[in-house]
Amino acid sequence: MLAVLVMGTSLGMVAVMPPAASADTADYKILAGDQATNKILRFDPATSTWDDWSWSPVAAGITGTAAENFNGGNDFRVRATAEGPSQLVVVDGEGLIAKVDYETGEPLWSTSVDRADNLHSVELLPDGNVAVAATGTGYVRIFQAAGSGSTAVSAKFLLRNVHATLWDPGIRRLWVAGSPLDASGKEYQVLKALEVTGPASAPGLREDSARTQVISTSTDAVHDVAADFNDPDKLWITTNSRVQTYDKTTRQLAGGGTDIDRNAVKSISAQPSGQIIQTKADQYRVPQVICGSPVNGWCTATLDFFNPAKSVTRSGAQFYKARLESPFYGVRDHAQRGRVFDTAGGTTVKVDNNDKISRIEATAGADGRMHVLTLIQGTGMWSRTRDANGVWEESATNLDSNPQITDAALVVDGNGVQHAFTLIPDHSIWYRTRPLNGDWDGSSTRVYRGADIRSIAAVVNPTSGRLHLLMARTTGVWEQSTSAAGVWSTPTWIDKNPDIADMAAAALPDGTLHLFSVTAWGGVYHRKGTDTAWEIGASPVPLGTESPAIGQVRSLAVAGWPSTQLDLVTLRSGLGLWNQTWTTGGTWAAPVRGDAAPGSIQLYAARPGGLLHVGRISELS
């Protein structure tokens, strides 16, 4: 969720997620749902013992038929939360859905559905809502997990025989897997990524069709989807006959490896050490082992470990799934990444062949030159210029090597001086300049310090030369500007909407400033201002009939000065890039699709020499 602006731009918001365990982190304890004792139990791999902890809904104080008939849990996950203690979310085949304080076991929220729904998977979303998958009736639902609970549908996505839900913080999508039917009525297995739209109080679900992956064209029913701690691009997928890995970057499936790739695996987890834990139905072992009363085809008394290999059997147990106790979503919040392409006048050129770029930013000067910043995780921010003749510099310059940078803004003033701002998330904003035909400052100066900054944008007034820094915070948008003498002002509050996901800003030759923001659920708003004041209210931008009903805006960019019109470019989920213009008369043209590629993940807009340039990061595929 990023943006760009000219005369100013923004790279946009980066999701704030808890840090994941790294490869050298100690392995986690393991939770296992036991259908013999009707409890969730916990195993410590460091001591190879079952400890004294257990959880069941009745013991926790949850009442009702679904709680009383609890059968050990079909799925359960521990997740870190921004509010404080980790939480445990649980679903059970008898219909129970619960969110509890993991430290105390006390219920925070619960509800139930009909047992015929056959709940199979659960996930706690970053906003506190709970996503569930029901195999029996074939749906994914999001419940507003607050208050007394309700079976009212907040959001619903239909997928036949759906078995898995997994939130991916790197792409902010909910992975689900199921077994739909093709046009001829033949079953196949599919992995889908769902976009969670809207605020927590009114969530929605929409398929990100560009990420759909067919796992198998047979009736080889899919069972589980899991993340890998040490490889943010990898997913583990289990079906009736196989265990495979899926590379999110190359979109390729591969075998899970010797011994790991086997049949009848109901759940899989990957520890930080690289060790794999599986539950495999005992009925399909060789020789066959009896499990369940009556005997069934899904339970086991054994947890199987690989790399290194061992098995742990609990006499009389009937486990369906086992999960790590880890409170993290499985991967560090790696942003999406890819190569940068620039399109102008119908011609597209590759600006940067590095496939690890996660953010881009651009601005244009009156001299016809265009300047681009690219963010590469771990190495910081890089700068590259396109001259007035259209020739790009062969290599980029590393202007800031701080690996913690997640966002940046770039503007150029009337004297050709570039002004770059970089964000250290939840900490501070830093600033440096580059004079016309000169080099970047050797170091940055801190211009703001705060613990709740989400994203930044910047714009310069072409008539006064004053800089304006815009900050999206948890309380809305704040502005800090320079005086005629170059002294930074105290931040002022200009937009109280706390749900802003991305920003872009631009100026026009008449000295007016224009701020664009996109909300978490895809609405785009326009606010006008000057050096001294901004309009009290923002106006919604008419986005056409294709949004938000079909394609949610998740990022935007805008180009202004030296043109007398504003060119707004929006990135819409699954629909590519869309362009529309605004004139000083206040009229918006209808949006026109500029680039239909669904794999674009971030963009910029700039107008060097009077020609609109739209840049995009094209996700590796």
Stretch 565-569: mean pLDDT, rounded? 95
Chain mean pLDDT for the chain: 88
CATH of the domain at 297: 2.120.10.30
Cβ atoms of residues 5 and 506 within 8 Å: yes
- Separation of alpha carbons 84 and 582, rounded Å: 45
* Domain-ending residue, one of 274, 294, 324: 324
In a domain, residue 25? The reply is: no
For residues 41 and 132, membership in a common domain is answered with yes
Which contacts of 492-500 are long-range, i.e. CB under 8 A and separated by 24 or more positions?
A: 494/470, 494/527, 494/529, 494/534, 495/527, 495/534, 495/538, 497/525, 497/538, 498/474, 499/199, 500/13, 500/454, 500/472, 500/476
Q: For residue 450, is pLDDT > 90?
A: no
For residues 298 and 374, membership in a common domain is answered with no
Stretch 101-110: mean pLDDT, rounded? 94
Stretch 311-318: mean pLDDT, rounded? 96
Q: Environment class of residue 586 by beta-carbon count within 10 Å: exposed (0-12), middle (13-18) or buried (19+)? A: exposed
Sequential DSSP letters for 111-177? EE--GGG-EEEEEE-TTS-EEEEETTTTEEEEE--STT-----SEEEE-TT--EEEEETTTTEEEEE
Amino acid 223: pLDDT: 96
- The token duo for 48 is 């190879």
In a domain, residue 261? The reply is: yes
When pLDDT is cut at 50, 70 and 90, the band that residue 11 belongs to is very low
- Taking the alpha carbons of 546, 548, 551, 552 in that order, is the dihedral positive or negative? positive
For residues 130 and 236, membership in a common domain is answered with yes
Amino acid 565: pLDDT: 92
Phi, psi angle pair for 164, to nearest 5°: -130, 145
Q: For residue 376, is pLDDT > 60?
A: yes
- Separation of alpha carbons 358 and 617, rounded Å: 7
For residues 541 and 394, membership in a common domain is answered with yes
Amino acid 452: pLDDT: 82
- Separation of alpha carbons 551 and 467, rounded Å: 34
Amino acid 432: pLDDT: 96
In a domain, residue 56? The reply is: yes
Amino acid 551: pLDDT: 55
For residues 317 and 359, membership in a common domain is answered with no
Stretch 482-508: mean pLDDT, rounded? 92
Q: What pLDDT digit, counting tens, does each position of 150-182 carry? A: 555 578 999 999 999 999 877 778 999 999 999
For residues 233 and 185, membership in a common domain is answered with yes
Q: For residue 216, is pLDDT > 90?
A: yes
Q: Which of 210, 220, 113, 114 is nearest to 161 (CA)?
A: 220
> What percent of the chain has a predicted confidence (pLDDT) above 70?
90
When pLDDT is cut at 50, 70 and 90, the band that residue 80 belongs to is confident
In a domain, residue 215? The reply is: yes
Q: For residue 24, is pLDDT > 80?
A: no
Number of structural domains, the chain?
Answer: 2
Higher pLDDT, 152 or 559: 559
Q: For residue 68, is pLDDT > 70?
A: yes
For residues 448 and 320, membership in a common domain is answered with no
Cβ neighbours of residue 170 closer than 8 Å, sequence gap 6 or more: 232, 331, 332, 333, 334, 335, 336
Sequential DSSP letters for 329-382? -SS--PPP-EEEEEEETTEEEEEEEEEEEEEEEEEE-TTS-EEEEEEETTTEEE
Amino acid 554: pLDDT: 78
- pTM value is 0.69
For residues 76 and 144, membership in a common domain is answered with yes
When pLDDT is cut at 50, 70 and 90, the band that residue 545 belongs to is low
In a domain, residue 611? The reply is: yes
CATH of the domain at 563: 2.120.10.70
For residues 468 and 545, membership in a common domain is answered with yes
Amino acid 154: pLDDT: 74
Stretch 209-225: mean pLDDT, rounded? 93
Amino acid 237: pLDDT: 98
Amino acid 150: pLDDT: 54
In a domain, residue 302? The reply is: yes
> b/e map of 79-91 (b: 16 or more CB within 10 Å)?
bbbeeeebbbbbb
> What percent of the chain has a predicted confidence (pLDDT) above 90?
67
In a domain, residue 493? The reply is: yes
For residues 365 and 316, membership in a common domain is answered with no
Q: What pLDDT digit, counting tens, does each position of 496-537 carry? A: 988 788 899 999 999 999 999 988 767 899 999 999 999 999
Q: For residue 55, is pLDDT > 90?
A: yes
* Domain-ending residue, one of 269, 302, 324: 324
In a domain, residue 21? The reply is: no
Q: What pLDDT digit, counting tens, does each position of 286-314 carry? A: 999 999 888 888 999 999 999 999 999 99
Q: For residue 318, is pLDDT > 70?
A: yes
Q: For residue 147, is pLDDT > 60?
A: no
Q: For residue 262, is pLDDT > 50?
A: yes
- Separation of alpha carbons 410 and 56, rounded Å: 54
For residues 585 and 489, membership in a common domain is answered with yes
When pLDDT is cut at 50, 70 and 90, the band that residue 23 belongs to is very low
For residues 421 and 488, membership in a common domain is answered with yes
* Domain-ending residue, one of 324, 343, 358: 324
Domain holding 544, by residue range, is 3-16+333-619
